[in-house]
Amino acid sequence: MTAEATGTQAADRLVAVPVRHWGRWVGALVVLAVFALLGKAFVGADIHYHVVGDYFTAKNILTGVWHTLLISVLAQAMGIGLGVLAAVMRQSENPVMSGVGWFYVWLFRGTPLLLQLILWFNLSALFPTISIPGIWSVDTNTAITPFVAALLGLGINEGAYMAEIVRAGIGSVDTGQTEAAHALGMTQGLTLRRVVLPQAMRVIIPPTGNEFVNMLKSSSLASAAQYTELLRVTQTTYTSNFEIMPMLFVAALWYLILTSIFGIGQYFLERRFARGSQRELPATPAQRILSALRPGRR
């Protein structure tokens, strides 16, 4: 150690220098180069890019987008409902209930989604009519429309996955919470609804968001049930205009838009359920930008 470092220089004139990150600059250059090459390749490729613009807001494409969004939201909602039910059943002390919950997860998580969708769509082959004997009866082919088949297939399958997510969330809540609720005279149902589930939400929401993003995309499998969602509309369009690549780009862009919009929603949902977990919530990106623009404050 030199004399200079230990004290001959006045300490108040020393300036701290942060670590230099040379690697980041090199990395940025490499990434730029790769993007430039890719860009060049796509510009030179044999694709009619104007077709993307022509079809992006075409009526049938927009219908496909709407159907994808509709079936995804409804199937996810159904999945969450079934998932909570199955998770609570599996925790039940009643062996019949926990057995049924376990069986549901085992069956629908253990078989391919595509298979389940095709099965729902062809249900009439198994049961020509659906009826409650003596009260009500309906022709299966009338009842199970492509929409209903897609909803049942996606929703019931999703419920099996959600059951595991909800179970993990319930398990993450401290047992002291249940004890405190019971000590106040709350019943098990009330404890679950008011104390355990709201806290489990913090653990449940991120993977559920993941599931919903997955649902937006796996809803394309509903084309197997003849449901006219985005990918199926895209496919029927390119079989007539032969613009396969541009049409796939149209679909890809729409899927990206849907998942991005949802990502923003998830961010605010997570903030809502983070109440009480921290002393103060971190600023939203918008708030951070605003405070950076405001002079004189940090």
For the chain, the distance separating the N- and C-terminal CA atoms, rounded to the nearest angstrom, is 38
Does position 195 interact with another protein (CB under 8 A)? The reply is: yes
Interacting residue with another protein among 275, 283, 284, 291 (CB under 8 A): 275
For another protein, the closer of residues 50 and 193 by Cβ is: 193
DSSP per position, 20-53: P-HHHHHHHHHHHHHHHHHHHHHHHSS--HHHHH
Does position 124 interact with another protein (CB under 8 A)? The reply is: no
CA gap 277, 69 in Å, rounded: 32
**Of 164-172, 179-187, 205-213, 216-224: span binding another protein (CB under 8 A):** 179-187
Distances (CA, A) of 81 to 47, 88, 281: 44, 11, 29
Which residues, at least 6 apart from 259, have a Cβ–Cβ distance to it below 8 Å?
Answer: 213, 216, 217
CA gap 145, 160 in Å, rounded: 23
Q: Residue for token digits 């496909």?
A: 64
Does position 183 interact with another protein (CB under 8 A)? The reply is: yes
Interacting residue with another protein among 187, 239, 241, 291 (CB under 8 A): 187
Interacting residue with another protein among 40, 179, 241, 292 (CB under 8 A): 179
Which residues, at least 6 apart from 68, have a Cβ–Cβ distance to it below 8 Å?
Answer: 216, 219, 220, 229, 230, 231, 254, 258
Does position 276 interact with another protein (CB under 8 A)? The reply is: yes
**Of 36-44, 148-156, 170-178, 216-224: span binding another protein (CB under 8 A):** 170-178
Does position 278 interact with another protein (CB under 8 A)? The reply is: yes
CA gap 67, 62 in Å, rounded: 9
Does position 94 interact with another protein (CB under 8 A)? The reply is: no
Does position 170 interact with another protein (CB under 8 A)? The reply is: no
Map residue 248 onto helix, strand or coil: helix
Size of the site for another protein (CB under 8 A): 24
**Of 25-33, 207-215, 225-233, 275-283: span binding another protein (CB under 8 A):** 275-283
Would you tell me which residues interact with another protein (CB under 8 A)? 174, 176-177, 179-188, 190, 194-195, 198-199, 273, 275-279
